[in-house]
Structure 1
Amino acid sequence: MTESPTETESATPTATATPDDGTDGISRSYFEQGPTVGLEEVATGLTSPSALVTADEDADRRFIVDQVGTVHVHDADGLRSTPFLDITDRMVALGEGLPNWISYDERGLLGLAFHPDFAENGLCYVRYSAPSTEADIDHREVLSEFRATGDRSAVDPDSERVLLDLPWHRPIHQSGSIEFGPDGYLYGSLGDGLNPYHGQDLDTLKGCIYRIDVDSRTETTPYGIPADNPLVGREGRDELYAWGLRNPWKMAFSGDRLIAGDVGQATWEEVDVIEAGSNYGWPLKEGTHCHDPQLGTSSEDQCLVESDRGEPLVDPVFEFPHFDEEGDAVGFAVIGGHIHEGSVAAVDGSYLCGVFTSSFTTPAGRLLAAAPQDAGTWPVEELQVDGGLDIQVLSFGQDGADSYVLGTRAALADDPLGQTEGVVYRLTS
């Protein structure tokens, strides 16, 4: 980071241009208009805030993850300038060595989760991108356990215990969210590594949601395997919980329901309710639409309804296109969120999520609210923001009654990871 964060009172888009039609090329009418909400700025001076999480403890504090490699505490006194965790010395150099078709480096510090018994054991878990010494490997995706100091004011950097260390051939599609479920197991997301066929390959952890037991070990792994994981005793990786995903960017539990946003390729973005043993179709489908992995295109042709193994391909609970029927941009890269319960009555019970951006030249994220249903698709509205939304949306967080929106005010064309334009907003009425 070039300067310390201060207190105040990704997913890469796949399109290459917006239409030149005499306007800014952004669709204003695709989504139904939803309620108006406010955004209260609570922290600035970050680079790329990628998560906001809390721990099960008495302290009233939020932990804000910055993709560049630090975690900062936000409490009643604001955003602490001294990091709770700093692993910049063991991460890849963001923005370096990327091909010119990648507009936003997706590597970095990508996920943070606190052990359900953090107050007693001080354990937390992080996902990050580490350098590789192998010529054909871009970097390594690492899941590690760390232990906080006795007073829980910081993490001991020497306490790292590596749980997963995966070679990643390309600097993209590594996803990164990690969440403890109500069952006490750790759930994590991994993208397809830019090889779409990984989504249907049960012998790899790419393109999946995995589920592990951090409190036990096996003879071959530094973690345990829950006995009811769907592939235990069957063909495939025992860690797998769900598969057929492209790049699930941000997921969260709302009660016992795990909901993830999965970033699309050709035409469609989708949100999925993740269930054990489910196949979400990638690359055979993109959202509810047929997908040709050889051509990288989606269509309205008759689709496959099951995998080669006979698994039904599960449709998303909602989707949206990159462009509307007039060719104006709806948005690129869905940002998964959570069901809001609490302080903002207009969206109470709604699933809050976002659109990373609708433009390459201006900050043009969107906030969406979907109404969860017991079955079928979820109706979706676009929240209207009092004063407008001035960011690319990167992530969401919650701390009981409050929901937070994280993003950057830097446009894609302005090298967001080279600036400290990251901001955290609290959602208000």
Structure 2
Amino acid sequence: MIVQRRAVTAFLAAAVLVVTAGCSSDDGGGEAGDGASATPSGTRSGASPSGRATEEGAPPAKGSVEVVRTVAEGLDSPWGLAPLPGGGLLVSSRDEGTILLVDEETGEKTELGEVPGVSAAGEGGLLGIAVSPEYASDHMVYAYFTSGSDNRIVRMLYNPDKPEGAQLGAPDTILRSIPKGTNHNGGRLAFGPDKMLYASTGERYEGQLAQDEESLGGKILRMTPDGEPAPGNPFEDSPVYSLGHRNVQGLAWDGEQRLWASEFGQSTWDELNLIEPGGNYGWPDAEGEAGESGFVDPVEQWEVAEASPSGIAFAEGSVWMAGLRGERLWRIPLKGTETSADPQAFLTGEYGRLRTVVSAGGDKLWLTTSETDGRGSPEGGDDKILELRVK
């Protein structure tokens, strides 16, 4: 196994603190590696008693993962997962174009409705979902999906008092004209600590879109809840927050409100990046660490057979990264803007392809499997939501 730690340059750390075709598509193709964990290089100095990373300390070099229970099963191509503030998990089905409400205690599933306009094909369909930071007052659910002509972001009113299957209001499109393709549609949605909406987009196998500041493809976008370019964005009157991305599908913030993103490589390196406002992450001119002026190198990189990463979450001082082709959950312990020990792989091959991981608070994570999305070969069951305890 090859896992290499890469430090972010000093200018990246400062900038982030101020603001806060190829063979690898969705799964990387071919056979996954053996899944053995990387050998930790030893506990770093300054580990906090709680094991949670701070600017002064780091989590333990070695962690652990316990599968507490299966929350729900029988899911069809689950892609996005968003906890509701009052309880319950919203789950988007990429291929069905529907959103389910899953009771996290009983596993009971309720269909809220089908999102109109979804055109599912290849890696496209109903992808990321997010809940408004003002959900208590506006009850808005956001979704990223592939239509017949583009990828777009919509918001819908969720009304649980309406009949099952009719609880989603008509979609209000807040951003359209994101390039679509059979593959490389990005799709992750998340509200940041600044209450701005972030979205990851792919370059639909046209690498130069990632370097085109005028294109929405191959980017991380930052916008207001109404879809307008967010105040303080690096490019005037543009939602573009960072560029030079091939196909980002994971977004998460650490305890210091820094944004991290996971990215599919082509055939050599998958990446974990610390996102700098206005940063250029190199694609298609660089894959993995390039050491070239003007490009931001990844903090970590993996061979594509070991990762092909989708969702990420931050918990207990580490980034947790779900692997599709790699069929494993990676723990990447952090100290500030660098990793503090070698990444570890967990659940290797036990649950097949892993798609989305979301913090459930404290030392808990929600994790979805991704075997029924046209690439996996499920044996003995459909996709699941798992509850994990991690450290």
Answer yes or no: same fold by TM over 0.5.
Answer: yes
Question: By how many angstroms is 1:169 displaced?
Answer: 5.3
Does the alignment pair 1:86 with 2:86? Answer: no
Cα separation, partners in 2 of 1:415 and 1:265, compared to 1, 3 Å: same
Question: By how many angstroms is 1:91 displaced?
Answer: 1.6
**CA distance in structure 2 between the aligned counterparts of 1:205 and 1:408, rounded to whole angstroms:** 27
Letter in 2 for 1:26: G
Correspondence 1:51-90 to 2 at 5 A: 51-55=80-84, 57=85, 59-68=86-95, 69-87=97-115, 89-90=116-117
Question: By how many angstroms is 1:210 displaced?
Answer: 0.9
Question: By how many angstroms is 1:76 displaced?
Answer: 5.0
CA shift digits 1:166-186 (9 cap, x unpaired)? 264531111111111111211
1:355 corresponds to which of 312, 320, 323: 323
Letter in 2 for 1:143: I
Does the alignment pair 1:333 with 2:295? Answer: no
Letter in 2 for 1:65: S
SS in structure 1 at match of 2:324: strand
CA contact (8 A) 2:151 2:185 kept: yes
Cα separation, partners in 2 of 1:351 and 1:118, compared to 1, 3 Å: same
**CA distance in structure 2 between the aligned counterparts of 1:396 and 1:77, rounded to whole angstroms:** 18
CA shift digits 1:210-250 (9 cap, x unpaired)? 111124xxxxxxx3322311111xxxx61111111100012
Cα separation, partners in 2 of 1:336 and 1:379, compared to 1, 3 Å: farther
SS in structure 2 at match of 1:119: helix
Correspondence 1:233-252 to 2 at 5 A: 238-252=238-252
CA contact (8 A) 1:391 1:410 kept: no
Question: By how many angstroms is 1:78 displaced?
Answer: 2.4
Flag the structure with more relative contact order, 1 or 2, with Cα contacts below 8 A and sequence separation at least 6.
2
CA shift digits 1:75-128 (9 cap, x unpaired)? 2552343312422x522144xxxxxxxxxx311111111111111111121011
Cα separation, partners in 2 of 1:175 and 1:82, compared to 1, 3 Å: same
Cα separation, partners in 2 of 1:380 and 1:11, compared to 1, 3 Å: farther
Q: Which residue of 1 aligns with 2:215?
A: 204
Q: Which residue of 1 aligns with 2:275?
A: 274
CA shift digits 1:272-318 (9 cap, x unpaired)? 111211111111211104xxxxxxxxxxxxx5322xxxxxx111111
SS in structure 2 at match of 1:13: coil
Q: Which residue of 2 aligns with 1:14?
A: 28
**CA distance in structure 2 between the aligned counterparts of 1:185 and 1:410, rounded to whole angstroms:** 32
Cα separation, partners in 2 of 1:384 and 1:179, compared to 1, 3 Å: closer
Letter in 1 for 2:334: P
Gaps of 5+ in 2: 1-23, 41-61
Q: Which residue of 1 aligns with 2:357?
A: 396
Which of 180-189 and 263-272 deviates more? 180-189
Cα separation, partners in 2 of 1:28 and 1:407, compared to 1, 3 Å: closer
Letter in 1 for 2:228: G
TM-score of the superposed pair, with normalisation by structure 1: 0.72
Question: By how many angstroms is 1:13 displaced?
Answer: 2.9
SS in structure 2 at match of 1:315: coil
1:422 corresponds to which of 370, 383, 387: 383
Correspondence 1:220-259 to 2 at 5 A: 223-232=227-236, 238-255=238-255, 256-259=257-260
Does the alignment pair 1:163 with 2:138? Answer: no
1:131 corresponds to which of 129, 143, 148: 148
SS in structure 1 at match of 2:311: strand
SS in structure 1 at match of 2:343: strand
Letter in 2 for 1:353: M
TM-score of the superposed pair, with normalisation by structure 2: 0.78
Question: By how many angstroms is 1:204 displaced?
Answer: 0.5
Q: Which residue of 2 aligns with 1:144?
A: 154
Q: Which residue of 2 aligns with 1:343?
A: none
**CA distance in structure 2 between the aligned counterparts of 1:109 and 1:288, rounded to whole angstroms:** 32
SS in structure 2 at match of 1:249: strand
CA contact (8 A) 2:179 2:216 kept: no
SS in structure 1 at match of 2:330: strand
Cα separation, partners in 2 of 1:421 and 1:270, compared to 1, 3 Å: same
SS in structure 2 at match of 1:206: coil
**CA distance in structure 1 between the aligned counterparts of 2:88 and 2:250, rounded to whole angstroms:** 21
% of aligned pairs identical?
24
Between Structure 1 and Structure 2, how many residues are aligned?
A: 341
Question: By how many angstroms is 1:390 displaced?
Answer: 2.2
CA contact (8 A) 1:62 1:399 kept: no
CA shift digits 1:259-281 (9 cap, x unpaired)? 11010002000011112111111
CA contact (8 A) 2:160 2:167 kept: no
**CA distance in structure 2 between the aligned counterparts of 1:214 and 1:424, rounded to whole angstroms:** 28
CA contact (8 A) 2:352 2:370 kept: yes
Letter in 2 for 1:187: Y
Question: By how many angstroms is 1:392 displaced?
Answer: 0.6
Q: Which residue of 2 aligns with 1:374?
A: 336
SS in structure 2 at match of 1:32: coil
Cα separation, partners in 2 of 1:67 and 1:32, compared to 1, 3 Å: farther
Question: By how many angstroms is 1:61 displaced?
Answer: 1.7
